[in-house]
Every structure is written in C-alpha cells, then in structure tokens.
Amino acid sequence: MNRLIQLVRTADWTGWLGAAIVLVMLGAAIAAPLIAPYDPVAINIEHRLTAPDATYWLGTDQAGRDVLSRVIYGARASLAVGIGAVIIGALIGVSAGLFAAYKGGLGDQITMRIVDAIASIPLLVWAIAIVGVLGVGPVAIGSLQLPNEVKIVTLIGCLFSPVFARVTYAVAQRIVSADYVKARYLQGASHWQIVTGDVLPNCLSPIIVQATLLVAIGIVIEASISFVGLGVQPPQPSWGTMLSDARNAIYSGEWWLPVFPGLAISVTVIGFNLLGDAVRDLFDPRHEARTLVA
C-alpha cells in the first residue's frame, strides 16, 4: 500500500499516460459489445469503402464493415493473447525459477538448463511454424471448442517463460541464502510457507516489470501471426488481419484501412511500454529485470 501511494506521488506523466492508455484499451476490450456502434462482422456492400464520416467515424472496409467497431473488437484478441501469454509464461517461469533456486543441486542444474534451451528458441519463427503445422482450426477439448488463439497463447507463453524463470531465479537465489530465511526454517516454517511467504514476495517487483513489458511484445507477435493468416481467423476482427486485408488499399488510396488498426497496435504497445518503464523505475531501481528484445 505504501508503494502504491509512492507510485501515485512519484511516477512522471509518461507513466500516467501509459496507465491511461492501458486502461482505455482494457475498457474497450471488455465493453466492446456496449461501445461498438455496429456489428463488427456485419457485411454491408452498399456502404463499402466509405471514407470516415459522421456515420462511420473510421470508415468502412471492402465488405462494408465498420472499421471503428472492428478496431474495438480487435482489442479483445490482442489483449487476450498478450495478457494470456504473459500469465502462462509467468506461471511456468516463476515456478521453475523458485524451484531451481530453492531446491539447488541437480534439480537446479536441470531446470535452468531447460530454461536456457527454451531461451535459445527464436520466438516468432517457431510460433509461425508450429501454428502452421498444427493448423489454424479450433482446438477441441471434449465438447469444448476453443479458438485457434489458444494455441498461440500457449506457445508464446511457453516461449516467454525463460524471462520469468531467470529474474525469479536471480532474486530468489539471494533470498534463499539470507539469514532470516534460515531463521524462519528453524522456527519451523514449512518449505511452502517460506517459498510463498518469504521468497516469492521479494521476486515480485522484477516479475511485474517484465510482465508489463512482455504484454507489449505479445501484442505485436499476435498481430504479426494474424497478419500472415495463422492467427485470429476471419471474419473475426483482429488488428493483424485488418492490416493484412488493407494491403491492397495501400495502392488504391483508402488510407483509413491501414492507418487505424496500425495506430491501435502502436498506441496500445506504447501504453504498455510507458507503464512498464514507469513501474521499472519505481519497483526495480537496480534494474534486476533484463532488457527485453524479441
């Protein structure tokens, strides 16, 4: 709570801008059916390729679908994949990092070698290839039909996990050997109590920093995979597929088709990056989190 108050006081305006953008995008994604003016998949040939006007604020596409509604609904796919992948990556990575640091010895060695191996996988190439192999159809678990995005979320999540494993491991290793943790053990605290009560809370700051910055990367990856036709499947709207559909418009002059989905991606990613930077300056002044690249 003290930290929250500190955040409110010290964060500069870029951090606030980032937080505002993230909140607006999250709101748009959650409340899409309430705020979208039209059905995002409704085809209306009469009004196809309308330039932005009072009726269609951001214009319409080749099938007469409202671009604004599609951009709003597109936030769902982007944020769901970005945030979902980070959650999966954090669950796997943090558990692995905690296990390796706490266990030590052979278990530590094996776990961190596997983490190294996963970290030596070029993310985007593998994501494209593996979704390509598995096919873009829905995933059936029993009678439950899950969309193609589930594969992408899981895949990106697994490939994100080394980032979390490494920051957790780095901090946890230092905590585990601290005297107060030994004292807790002598007091009779169980392994579980020590790991969740003493070790994990100390690792949270760099984890949160990485999580925020990784959402930004996840969003761009989802858009890219959808752009080559292996992500969100039409007619469902996603920023990546909208840009892919807009490729012909580059020559014919319907500028609004490539501009708005691209802006939506960029603004959202800027939001997460600004927020991530602010959180880093605040929570992680020694920069224990690594520089991310994808």
Partner 1 sequence: MFRLLAGRFFSSLGTLFFVGLVLFALTRAGPGSPARIVLGADATSAQITQFEQANGLDRPFLEQYVTWLADVLRGDFGKSFVTGRDVAGEIVDALPVTLSIVLFAFAIALVFGVGIGIWAALRLGGPMASVTRLGVVLGLSIPAFWLGIVLIRFIAVDLRWLPPGGYAPLSSGLMTHLQTIAMPAISLAVYYIAVLARMTQASLQEALRGDYVRTARAMGLSSPRIVVYALLNALPPVINLAALSFGYMFGWALIIEQVFNIPGLSRALLNAISQRDFLLLQGIVFLFTAIFVLANLGADLVNRVLDPRQRAAA
Interacting residues toward partner 1 by CB under 8 A: 14, 116-117, 120-126, 128-130, 132-135, 216, 220, 223-224, 227-228, 230, 243, 246-247, 250-251, 255, 258, 262, 265-266, 269-270, 273-274, 277, 287, 291, 293-294
Extended strands (E) in the chain:
139-141, 144-146
Q: How far apart are CA 77 and CA 239, in angstroms?
A: 8
How many residues in the chain? 294
279 neighbors 209 (Cβ within 8 angstroms)? yes
**C-beta of 200 vs 211, nearer to partner 1:** 211
Nearer to partner 1, 81 or 176 (CB): 81
CB of 111 to partner 1, least distance (A): 14
How far apart are the C-alpha atoms of 258 and 129, rounded to whole Å? 26
The secondary structure of residue 31, as a DSSP letter, is: T
Nearer to partner 1, 62 or 202 (CB): 62
Q: Is the peptide bond before 206 cis (omega within 30 degrees of 0)?
A: no
- Could you say which DSSP state residue 229 is in? T
CB of 74 to partner 1, least distance (A): 13
Between 60 and 78, CB nearer to partner 1:
78
Give least dist CB 146 to partner 1, A.
16
Cβ at position 13, least distance to partner 1 in Å:
11
Work out how close the CB of 163 gets to partner 1 at its nearest, in angstroms, rounded to a whole number.
12
According to DSSP, the residues that pair with 145 across neighbouring strands are 140
Shortest reach from residue 29's CB to partner 1, in Å: 18
The upper half-sphere exposure of residue 109, i.e. CA atoms within 13 Å in the direction of its Cβ, equals 2
3-state secondary structure of 191: helix
- The number of CA neighbours under 13 Å toward the Cβ of 269 is 17
**DSSP labels for 49-64?**
TPPS-SSSTT-B-TT-
CA dihedral 269, 209, 84, 32 (to 10 degrees): -50
Comparison of 175 and 211: residue with beta carbon closer to partner 1? 211
* Shortest Å, Cβ 261 to partner 1: 8
- Nearest residue to 130 via CA among 34, 225, 13, 253: 225
Q: Quick one: 155 or 199, whose CB is closer to partner 1?
A: 155
Whole-number minimum distance, CB 233 to partner 1, in Å? 15
Nearer to partner 1, 51 or 228 (CB): 228
SS3 66: strand
- CB nearer to partner 1: pick between 40 and 258: 258
